[in-house]
């Protein structure tokens, strides 16, 4: 998206600021709207869809929170999660502004601002916005993959590129990230969408069941074979075969699977005749590529066969504001399912969710929200309405940490800033670096 195509709303109780903004931006954007009273925000947003809102952090006591900017930022994100927000702040509010970035703001500018810096910030933010026609959700036939973070947008982009082809796909991701939904999204957006989608959890098949389940059998092939039965390959003929947990099958099973994929023919147990199959293959595993590359565990020639394109699904903890977006989606879904009135969500509820590491990823978030909806006795959800599964917490401790230097540094910075409640001076001192160096890292990691 280009800046010249964008619609901007500026909210500031200083008329001089509104005039200056209007004069500066009118030649750069499609439409500029000025508003003095932040209380009119809900009405403005309901009337028109804005790409960016430039919001002052302090007003004349219209909201008695002592922190008006954060309050109105959260209201904007509730009413229009896809809208970017730039905060206008005085120099003394910088630490508060840094904290607001964690709340979902896209940037902040300091009064008095430099015109070129403001235009540069707006241009950068608008360029990151999804192009007209692009999606923040992808259809999977049953539900949606939802998200607006850059990480999940990359997944959407890959799905859109590979779905129309017949390329074999390998989906990688932790448990609960939605690998099966991605597989369905590829099928639903392919030319095979009107043909079968067949899922097999091959990791759960015993060696004796592997061949009969995948390739089928003829009557009398073994003791309990009382009639002919088609295998999953034949059932998926013309459509898509999704083999989940492919990383858990034995070397012998891998060899059998490789032969079928090379020849595109299967031979049912108890038969001498091969049957041609036309399938689009999608595989998934929670193992990393480095683990699959160990030839003592997985055949390299099979990896090449199933991995024409790989799609890596990010863990929920790496998807930023998608946690809020998904939470609201699940709240709407379960309040409707259990015939409950719409819930109001307190900031403490969302804050507690954002601080959780979610070892069980989106699946865990879904169950956590469902539990809160079921157990809540009123229409307002607070942090005390949230409880996290001890099972997921225990399993999460066994997860292999991402030990890349960038990730370790980013997580350390977030932890220290959170510990010091957004105080940059204290955080920089604790990290052993200067304030300027910390700001550079905040900018580098888009924090």
- Write the DSSP assignment of 7-32 as a string of letters: EEEEE-S-HHHHHHHHHHHTTTSSEE
Domain positions in the chain: 3-128, 137-312, 316-396, 405-444
- Does the structural domain 316-396 have CATH classification 1.10.3720.10? no
CATH for the 137-312 domain, from 3.30.420.10, 3.40.50.300, 3.60.10.10, 1.20.120.330: 3.40.50.300
Sites in the chain below the pLDDT cut of 50: 63-66, 132-134, 394-400
With 0-12 CB in 10 A as exposed, 13-18 as middle and 19+ as buried, what is 279? buried
Res 290: pLDDT: 77
110: its two tokens: 């300091």
**Architecture in CATH of 3-128:** 3-Layer(aba) Sandwich (3.40)
User: d(Cα 245, Cα 239) in Å, to the nearest integer?
Assistant: 20
pLDDT score for 239: 95
Which residues, listed in sequence order, are joined to residue 7 by a DSSP beta bridge? 31
Domain 3-128 matches domain 405-444 at the CATH topology level: no
Q: Return the pLDDT at 398.
A: 41
What's the pTM value of the predicted model, to 2 decimals?
0.60
Query: Domain spanning 405-444 has what CATH number?
Result: 1.10.10
Where residue 320 falls (left for φ over 0; alpha for ψ -120 to 50; beta otherwise) is left
Question: So what's the pLDDT on residue 369?
Answer: 94
Q: What is the pLDDT of residue 143?
A: 56
pLDDT reported for residue 150: 86
pLDDT in tens, 23-75: 999 999 999 999 998 889 988 988 888 999 999 887 765 544 446 788 888 88
pLDDT, position 65: 47
Q: What is the DSSP string of 186-248?
A: HHHTSTTTTS-EEEEEGGG--HHHHHHHHH-B-TTSSTT--S-B--HHHHTTTSEEEEETGGG
51 Cβ contact partners less than 8 Å away, ≥ 6 residues apart: 1, 6, 7, 8, 83, 84, 126, 129
């Amino acid at each position: 998206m280009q800046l010249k195509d964008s619609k901007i709303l500026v909210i500031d109780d200083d008329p001089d600021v509104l005039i200056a903004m209007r004069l500066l931006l009118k030649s750069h954007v499609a439409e500029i709207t000025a508003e003095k009273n932040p209380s009119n925000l809900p009405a403005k947003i309901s009337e028109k869809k804005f790409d960016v809102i430039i919001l002052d952090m302090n007003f004349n006591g219209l909201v008695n929170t002592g922190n008006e900017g954060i309050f109105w930022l959260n209201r904007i994100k509730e009413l229009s999660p896809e809208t970017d927000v730039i905060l206008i702040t005085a120099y003394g509010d910088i630490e508060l502004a840094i904290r607001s970035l964690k709340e979902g703001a896209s940037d902040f500018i300091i009064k008095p601002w430099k015109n070129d810096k403001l235009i540069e910030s707006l241009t950068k933010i608008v360029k990151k916005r999804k192009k007209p026609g692009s999606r923040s959700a992808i259809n999977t036939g049953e539900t949606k993959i939802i998200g607006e973070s850059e990480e999940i947008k990359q997944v959407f982009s890959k799905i859109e590129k590979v779905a129309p082809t017949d390329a074999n796909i390998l989906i990688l991701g932790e448990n609960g990230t939605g690998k099966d939904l991605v597989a369905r999204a590829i099928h639903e957006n392919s030319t095979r969408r009107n043909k079968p989608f067949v899922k097999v959890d091959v990791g759960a098949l015993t060696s004796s069941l592997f061949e009969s389940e995948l390739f089928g059998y003829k009557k009398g092939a073994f003791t309990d074979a009382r009639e002919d039965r088609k295998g999953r390959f034949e059932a998926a003929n013309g459509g898509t075969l999704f083999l989940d947990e492919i990383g858990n099958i034995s070397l012998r099973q891998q060899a059998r699977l490789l032969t079928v994929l090379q020849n595109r023919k299967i031979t049912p147990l108890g038969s001498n005749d091969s049957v041609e199959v036309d399938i689009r293959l999608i595989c998934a595993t929670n193992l990393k590529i480095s683990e699959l590359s160990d030839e003592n565990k997985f055949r390299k020639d099979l990896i090449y066969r199933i991995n024409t394109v790989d799609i890596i699904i990010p863990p929920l903890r790496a998807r930023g504001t998608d946690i809020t977006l998904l939470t609201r989606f699940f709240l709407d879904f379960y309040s409707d399912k259990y015939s409950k009135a719409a819930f109001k969500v307190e900031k403490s509820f969302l804050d507690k969710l954002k601080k959780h590491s979610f070892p069980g990823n989106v699946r865990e978030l879904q169950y956590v929200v469902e539990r809160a909806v079921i157990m809540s006795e009123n229409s307002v959800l607070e942090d005390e309405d949230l409880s996290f599964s001890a099972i997921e917490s225990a399993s999460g401790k066994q997860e292999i940490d991402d030990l890349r230097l960038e990730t370790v540094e980013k997580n350390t910075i977030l932890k220290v800033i959170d510990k010091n409640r957004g105080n940059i001076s204290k955080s920089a001192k604790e990290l052993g670096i200067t304030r300027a160096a910390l700001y550079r890292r905040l900018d580098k990691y888009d924090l």
